[in-house]
């Protein structure tokens, strides 16, 4: 695996997505974003949000949706 | 404080509930049916002379010393083998039995060296005691006859000697090896006068099957089997009960002392985890505490390329605190963190996480459980509601089928393995799921009914296939599921598990386990009255470690094997205090007691107690700390008792990350591999030098008691307090008991724990609170902690670490009996006699293809790196699989392992690395450079002379 932090975060997000891929999409997105919120430190979240904003290259579709959902919920209303 | 003398009742207690009343020497006594006369007498305070009897062993009746008379019965039966009877009238002493005993003693003594004054057992010899008890005054036969006095000593074992000239052939050692340890290494060779104790087939102890557990030494009534430390130092004069600092079994020992010198550690009969048994590490390998490599003075250096400079504690603490404060001032409060250790006490880990959360102002705390059992926490919390095993160790006594997955108890948890083997010898069935043919698969009087030799990385497929068989063949416990679990979640899971891809026939392609064998194993597990699962790091250290824990939890629930003795899901924890360090809030996302940092109620309790506001956001895990260091945002690290350079994966990346930091503080006994990259070294102290508690794999909290002053001047908790104060915190404790009091008042599952309660009860298994004031041996009895048990779908996702043309073999790593983890302790003891270097196990087929010779050097290469070590050709591993240990720093097995990790917890995938093996002439360039660098990094500048 690459030692580049962003690549690693993308890999981790995809790995988490695969663990919930058997769920209905809505539930999977919720589970994945909850997992990220519960376990990822804020600079990791900032980096994955930044990566998503730049197009989210390499993120699986489910991971992309979950990161986007988390990003939306993290933004002030 | 004196020497703790445990009463030897001569025979084991009876488990019967029916009572019998008899008369012994005119005194009426009531005992459980089945109790021996010897034990009944001992319970009323009468000691019948004995030699072959001891209460850790089954009655044997060979020495003929414990004869008694029973009114109305002929002869003089042995009191150790004769059970009590209702109304029985027993005489333990009269002219007849006295004469008989004296005659027996004469025979023993006629063939015994009368060197009592210079004998190592002088003052602690049962033969000497028995001679005194029977009033032996002369030996009519003289001493000139045929005897064994010239028999040669066997001093081959590093820790004890065997002197056959002193042997009375009571067989206690042989029986201890069989009944307690279960190794069957000893026997009585020959017959009559030629009878002698023999290790193996007339081998010396070291070369025999003996595992050096010490059970025979403990059982020996004379000086025949004697610790070399006693021979050297003499008999101890006082002792203290404490807890072993090696594996997660948590054996209780008596540290037997002369002054501040340890004479020996002897397993404590009342120890609830070990019941008086031990292994070669806990019993004998404590000499590291006084090893010459021990660093006892604090040291600092500006750059990691500088030599170390010894300084005062004040200067070292002040230097570290100022560096940390400076880093935070320049790079923000999240730029530093810390790592707690499973080798340290609960109180120490609690303080380190408190320092980080309340003093550093962030949640950047992690622990070595990251690399071992973090998936256990995630998996069991989400399915059952608690991050811990469900049973106590004694539960195995009631198991009828034992499923061992990814654990090697005889090496990793030897004392519990002996307990388990005893149950297996009683008839329980065994299923082993492991890529290697571990010792449990076939050893004396133990043979697995099924060895599911799966390919590394396919645990989830295997456990799902077991569950598939259970559901498909109607073996699920529907009543249990309906009563205890969420039925809809079960139905959803069952539909998933019934998919064709989860059938044994389909998973065989991944696992390599024949479908018929797997189905038979599933039937055996599911049909058992009580079936228990024990698992280890072979489950957790995978990219799907958490999924396997969940799959195991599902399987146990589906078959109703949770919530009573004899069943359950039992993680075998690697280090002595893995459970405790996790309980104490060492993970970056949770406070003590497994409460998430975003839990407002928990956070407010701690904020009120600590007087600071706490972050509600998770901190960095160890691998993320290293990544952040490489990114320049994480620059200071306080590491207590851990050696992440040797123990964590992908060494080169770890080293690069540490090298990028501005201040690394290492607190340890020795200059370990991580200290090579440190700026401050704070000397630590051993478990013999401090007070505290450890929590073992069965959630059992036990006291660690100080038996000598810290060689470095301070207990480890005191060092953390000094650092915290230098960082500006208020932290005042006068004793670790006050730290536990704080844990109890802020953590609901520990509410009833205190040193006073521990001293009174001996140990406490959490939860311990108003509902369970003396603790909880078995969990989930009336319902799961989380309410209803939750079935969670665990889909098999193959690891991305795959064998291929360049790296065609799969490496899996593990431990060996004589060494402990990174070996920092055991390598500094005589245990190196058994394992002086890591070797690579390779199947004869793979070895032949590569021209590898047994004992020859081979290069082991993966995508991450390469190292060289010697090969051991064995069919313990399957073709295509190789295996090594990680106990020696010069092997650097973790140069090979990759940074793939568990999806949920980032626990590294140590158990699957694609590798190639080729011939080699010796250590690689990396190893040579690494050794040179280590020597350079450990230079200590000579002290500057005062002017």
* Tens digits of residue pLDDT in B387-443: 899 999 999 999 999 999 999 999 999 999 999 999 999 999 999 999 999 999 999
CATH of B809-936, one of 3.40.50.720, 3.40.120.10, 1.10.150.120, 2.40.40.20: 2.40.40.20
Of A15, A22, A44, which has the smallest distance from its Cβ to B903's Cβ? A15
Tell me the shortest Cα–Cα distance from A18 to chain B, in angstroms.
Answer: 8
d(CA B730, CA B694): 25
d(CA B684, CA B301): 18
Pairing relationship of beta strands B595-596 and B590-591 according to DSSP bridges = antiparallel
* Chain A CB within 8 Å of residue B617 CB: yes
Residue A2: the pLDDT is: 67
E strand or H helix that includes residue B330: helix B313-331
Residue B202: the pLDDT is: 85
Residue B368: the pLDDT is: 87
CATH of B392-571, one of 3.40.228.10, 3.20.20.220, 3.40.50.300, 3.40.640.10: 3.40.228.10
* Residue to test with chain B: of A9, A15, A66, most B Cβ within 10 A: A15
What string of DSSP letters covers B256-294? EEETTEEEEEEE-TT-TTTTT---HHHHH--GGGG-TT-
d(CA B359, CA B326): 14
What string of DSSP letters covers B455-487? PTT-HHHHHHHHHHHHHHTT-S-HHHHHHHB-H
Q: Give which of B785, B725, B790 is closest to B488, Cα–Cα.
A: B790
Please check the confidence at residue A77 and state whether its pLDDT lies above 70: no
Share of chain A above pLDDT 70, in %: 95
Supply B161's token pair: 């000697």
Whether pTM exceeds 0.90: yes
* Chain B CB within 8 Å of residue A72 CB: no
d(CA B666, CA B639): 5
Residue B264: the pLDDT is: 98
B299-372+577-691+709-749 is a CATH 3.40.50.740 domain: yes
CATH of B19-134, one of 1.10.760.10, 3.10.20.740, 3.90.1300.10, 2.60.40.10: 3.10.20.740
Residue B947: the pLDDT is: 56
Contact criterion met (CB < 8 Å) for A8 and B627: yes
Tell me the shortest Cα–Cα distance from A66 to chain B, in angstroms.
Answer: 15
Which residue carries 């199947």 as its tokens? B843
C-alpha count within 13 angstroms, C-beta hemisphere, residue B466 = 34
β-bridge mates for residue B869, sequence order: B858
Contact criterion met (CB < 8 Å) for B618 and A38: yes
d(CA B320, CA B311): 12
Per CB-CB distance under 8 Å, the chain A contacts of B334 are 41-43
Cα–Cα separations (whole angstroms), residue B906 to A11, A13, B290, B366, B810: 12, 12, 36, 12, 20
Would you report the helix, strand and coil content of chain B in percent, each value rounded to 5? 35, 20, 45
Q: ipTM value of the model?
A: 0.96
SS3 B763: strand
d(CA B35, CA B14): 5
β-bridge mates for residue B764, sequence order: B701
Tell me the shortest Cα–Cα distance from B904 to chain A, in angstroms.
Answer: 7
Contact criterion met (CB < 8 Å) for A40 and B618: yes
Share of chain B above pLDDT 70, in %: 100
* Chain B CB within 8 Å of residue A6 CB: no
Contact criterion met (CB < 8 Å) for A1 and B898: yes
* Chain B CB within 8 Å of residue A40 CB: yes
Task: Give the count of Cβ contacts less than 8 A between chain A and B.
Answer: 62
Task: Please provide residue B704's backbone torsions phi and psi, each rounded to the nearest 5 degrees.
Answer: -105, 125
d(CA B947, CA B941): 17
The sign one gets for the Cα dihedral B206, B209, B212, B217 is: negative
Residue spans per domain, chain B:
19-134, 299-372+577-691+709-749, 392-571, 809-936
Residue B1: the pLDDT is: 73
Contact criterion met (CB < 8 Å) for B628 and A5: yes
Q: Are B414 and B545 in contact (CB under 8 A)?
A: no
d(CA B713, CA B691): 14
Low-confidence ranges of chain B (pLDDT < 70): 945-947
* Chain A CB within 8 Å of residue B620 CB: yes
Contact criterion met (CB < 8 Å) for B547 and A5: no
Task: Please provide residue B263's backbone torsions phi and psi, each rounded to the nearest 5 degrees.
Answer: -90, -45
* Chain A CB within 8 Å of residue B492 CB: no
Q: What tens digit of pLDDT does each residue of B823-861 get?
A: 889 999 999 999 989 999 999 999 999 999 999 999 999
Measured CA angle at B171 (ends B169, B174), to 5 deg: 130
* Chain A CB within 8 Å of residue B653 CB: yes
Q: Give which of B643, B736, B653, B632 is closest to B689, Cα–Cα.
A: B736
Q: Are B234 and B118 in contact (CB under 8 A)?
A: no
d(CA B533, CA B571): 8
Tell me which DSSP letter residue B697 carries.
T
Per CB-CB distance under 8 Å, the chain B contacts of A1 are 800, 898-900
Burial zone of B745 (CB within 10 Å; 0-12 exposed, 13-18 middle, 19+ buried): exposed
d(CA B108, CA B305): 67
Q: Give which of B518, B206, B546, B242 is closest to B375, Cα–Cα.
A: B546
Residue A1: the pLDDT is: 62
Per CB-CB distance under 8 Å, the chain A contacts of B619 are 41
Contact criterion met (CB < 8 Å) for B630 and A5: yes
């Amino acid at each position: 695996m690459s030692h580049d932090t962003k690549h690693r975060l993308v890999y981790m997000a995809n790995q988490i997505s695969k663990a919930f891929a058997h769920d209905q999409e809505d539930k999977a997105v919720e589970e994945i974003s909850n997992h990220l919120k519960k376990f990822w430190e804020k600079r990791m979240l900032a980096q994955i949000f930044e990566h998503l904003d730049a197009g989210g290259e390499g993120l699986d579709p489910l991971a992309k949706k979950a990161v986007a959902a988390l990003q939306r919920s993290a933004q002030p209303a | 404080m004196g020497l703790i003398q445990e009463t030897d009742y001569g025979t084991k207690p009876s488990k019967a509930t029916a009572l019998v009343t008899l008369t012994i020497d005119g005194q009426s006594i009531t005992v459980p049916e089945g109790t021996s006369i010897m034990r009944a007498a001992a319970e009323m305070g009468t000691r019948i002379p004995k030699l072959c009897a001891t209460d850790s062993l089954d009655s044997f009746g060979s020495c003929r010393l414990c004869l008694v008379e029973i009114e109305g019965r002929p002869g003089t039966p042995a009191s150790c083998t004769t059970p009590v009877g209702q109304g029985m009238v027993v005489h333990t002493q009269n002219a007849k039995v006295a004469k008989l005993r004296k005659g027996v003693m004469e025979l023993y003594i006629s063939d015994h060296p009368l060197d009592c004054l210079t004998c190592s057992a002088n003052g602690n010899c049962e033969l000497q005691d028995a001679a005194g008890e029977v009033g032996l005054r002369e030996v009519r036969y003289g001493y000139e006859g045929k005897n064994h006095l010239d028999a040669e000593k066997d001093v081959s074992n590093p820790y004890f000697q065997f002197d056959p000239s002193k042997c009375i052939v009571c067989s206690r050692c042989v029986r201890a090896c069989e009944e307690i340890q279960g190794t069957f290494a000893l026997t009585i060779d020959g017959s009559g006068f030629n009878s002698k104790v023999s290790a193996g087939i007339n081998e010396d102890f070291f070369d025999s099957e003996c595992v050096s557990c010490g059970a025979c030494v403990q059982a020996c009534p004379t000086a025949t089997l004697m610790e070399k430390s006693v021979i050297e130092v003499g008999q101890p004069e006082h002792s203290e009960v404490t807890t072993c600092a090696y594996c997660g079994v948590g054996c209780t020992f008596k540290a037997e002392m002369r002054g501040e010198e340890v004479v020996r550690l002897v397993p404590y009969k009342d120890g609830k985890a070990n019941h008086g048994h031990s292994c070669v590490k806990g019993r004998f390998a404590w000499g590291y505490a006084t090893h010459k490599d021990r660093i006892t003075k604090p040291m600092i250096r500006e750059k990691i390329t500088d030599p170390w400079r010894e300084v005062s504690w004040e200067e070292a603490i002040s230097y570290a605190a100022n560096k940390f404060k400076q880093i935070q001032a320049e790079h923000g409060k999240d730029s530093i963190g810390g790592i707690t250790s499973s080798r340290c006490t609960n109180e120490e880990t609690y303080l380190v996480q408190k320092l980080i959360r309340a003093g550093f102002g962030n949640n950047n705390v992690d622990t070595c459980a990251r690399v071992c059992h973090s998936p256990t926490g995630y998996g069991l919390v989400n399915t059952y509601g608690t991050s811990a095993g469900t049973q106590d160790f004694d539960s195995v006594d009631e198991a009828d089928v034992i499923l061992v997955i990814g654990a090697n108890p005889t090496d990793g948890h030897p004392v519990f393995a002996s307990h388990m083997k005893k149950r297996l010898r009683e008839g329980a069935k065994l299923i082993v799921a492991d890529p290697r043919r571990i010792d449990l698969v076939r050893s004396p009087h133990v043979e697995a009914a099924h060895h599911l030799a799966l390919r590394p990385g396919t645990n989830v497929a295997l456990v799902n296939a077991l569950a598939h068989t259970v559901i498909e063949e109607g073996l699920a416990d529907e009543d249990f599921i309906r009563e205890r679990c969420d039925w809809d979640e079960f139905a959803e899971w069952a539909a998933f598990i019934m998919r064709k891809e989860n059938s044994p026939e389909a998973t065989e392609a991944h696992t390599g386990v024949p479908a018929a064998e797997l189905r038979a194993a599933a039937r055996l597990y599911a049909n058992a009255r009580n079936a228990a699962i024990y698992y280890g790091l072979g489950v957790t250290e995978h990219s799907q470690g958490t999924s396997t824990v969940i799959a195991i939890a599902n399987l146990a629930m589906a078959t109703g094997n949770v919530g009573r003795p004899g069943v359950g899901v039992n993680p075998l924890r690697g280090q002595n205090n893995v459970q405790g360090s996790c309980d104490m809030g060492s993970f970056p996302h949770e406070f003590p007691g497994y409460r998430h940092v975003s839990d407002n109620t928990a956070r407010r309790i701690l904020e009120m107690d600590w007087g600071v506001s706490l972050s509600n956001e998770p901190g960095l895990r160890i691998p993320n700390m290293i990544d952040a260091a490489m990114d320049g945002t994480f620059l200071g690290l306080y590491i207590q008792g851990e050696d992440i350079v040797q123990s964590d994966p992908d060494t080169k990346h770890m080293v690069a990350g540490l090298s990028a930091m501005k201040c690394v503080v290492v607190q340890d006994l020795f200059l370990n591999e991580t200290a090579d990259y440190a700026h401050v070294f704070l000397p630590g102290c051993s478990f013999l030098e401090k007070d505290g508690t450890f929590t073992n794999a069965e959630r059992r909290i036990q006291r660690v008691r100080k038996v000598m002053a810290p060689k470095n001047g301070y207990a480890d908790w005191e060092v953390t307090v000094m650092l915290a104060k230098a960082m500006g915190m208020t932290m005042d404790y006068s004793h670790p008991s006050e730290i536990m009091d704080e844990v109890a008042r802020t953590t609901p599952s520990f509410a009833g724990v205190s040193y006073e309660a521990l001293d009174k009860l001996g140990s406490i298994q959490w939860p311990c609170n108003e509902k369970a004031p003396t603790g909880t041996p078995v969990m989930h009895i009336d319902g799961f902690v989380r309410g209803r048990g939750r079935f969670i779908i665990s889909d098999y996702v193959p690891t991305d670490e795959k064998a291929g043309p360049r790296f065609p073999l799969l490496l899996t790593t593990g431990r060996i009996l004589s060494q402990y983890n990174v070996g920092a302790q055991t390598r500094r003891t005589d245990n190196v006699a058994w394992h002086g270097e890591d070797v690579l196990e390779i199947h004869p087929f793979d070895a032949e293809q590569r021209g590898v010779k047994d004992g020859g050097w081979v290069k082991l290469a993966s995508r991450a790196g390469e190292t060289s070590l010697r090969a051991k050709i064995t069919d313990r591993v399957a073709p295509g699989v190789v295996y090594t240990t990680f106990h020696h720093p010069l092997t650097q097995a973790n140069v090979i392992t990759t940074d793939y990790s568990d999806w949920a917890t980032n626990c590294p995938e140590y158990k699957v690395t694609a590798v190639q093996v080729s011939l080699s002439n010796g250590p690689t360039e990396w190893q040579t450079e690494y050794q040179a660098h280590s020597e350079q990094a450990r230079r200590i500048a000579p002290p500057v002379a005062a002017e």
